Amino acid sequence: MAAQLNALNSDSYIDISRYRDQRFAGQLTTQEKLLKQSHTLYVGNLSFYTTEEQVHELFSKSGDIKRIIIGLDKVKKTACGFCFVEYYTRADAENAMRFINGTRLDDRMIRTDWDAGFIAGRQYGRGYSGGQVRDEYRRDYDPARGGYGKFAPQTQFQEGQNTF
């Protein structure tokens, strides 16, 4: 049946967010077009210890996964808390945005967002110290993400003090 109601077609969980990759090589309009057709998701707020296998198990619940690329610290080459999940179909990726985004993996609330497509090199954190930018300035203590943020003021105190 052709007749539908626009107001009932709300599908806000799969809308693209405000984030745009500043290093994307191309026009903003191109990036947005790619985001709207993408089969690839960025997954954030992972623990450094979350494995590819755990990501695979969770994200397989919305469909068959083509590949997973674990984000790495550019210097240490160890996991730094994000990854890309690429599905074979757009529909499966949409279901992940609807039903896996905002749920827990490894006891952490993870966040998914559309990604314009993996290119070699994008698996590295872009923070100055090698990890993700968000971990440079983070002020809270997160044991699963290397403790305090790299440049958070507390780090100066932490070194000399006893723990209580």
Residues that bind other proteins (CB under 8 A): 1, 3-8, 10-14, 18, 20, 22, 28, 32, 51-54, 56-58, 61-62, 64, 67-70, 95, 98-100, 103-107
Give least dist CB 5 to other proteins, A: 5
DSSP annotation of 147 reads B
Rg (CA), the chain: 18
> Judged by CB, which is closer to other proteins: 34, or 70?
70
> Judged by CB, which is closer to other proteins: 63, or 148?
63
Strand partners, 40: 86, 115
C-alpha span between 52 and 23 (Å, rounded): 25
Give least dist CB 148 to other proteins, A: 24
Give least dist CB 103 to other proteins, A: 6
Let me know: does 64 contact 128? Beta carbons within 8 Å.
no
Q: Which two tokens stand for residue 126?
A: 């872009």
Let me know: does 110 contact 43? Beta carbons within 8 Å.
yes
> Judged by CB, which is closer to other proteins: 64, or 140?
64
Give least dist CB 52 to other proteins, A: 5
> Judged by CB, which is closer to other proteins: 64, or 156?
64
> Judged by CB, which is closer to other proteins: 102, or 153?
102
Let me know: does 55 contact 43? Beta carbons within 8 Å.
yes
Give least dist CB 119 to other proteins, A: 17
C-alpha span between 29 and 108 (Å, rounded): 33
The amino acid present at 133, given as its one-letter code, is V
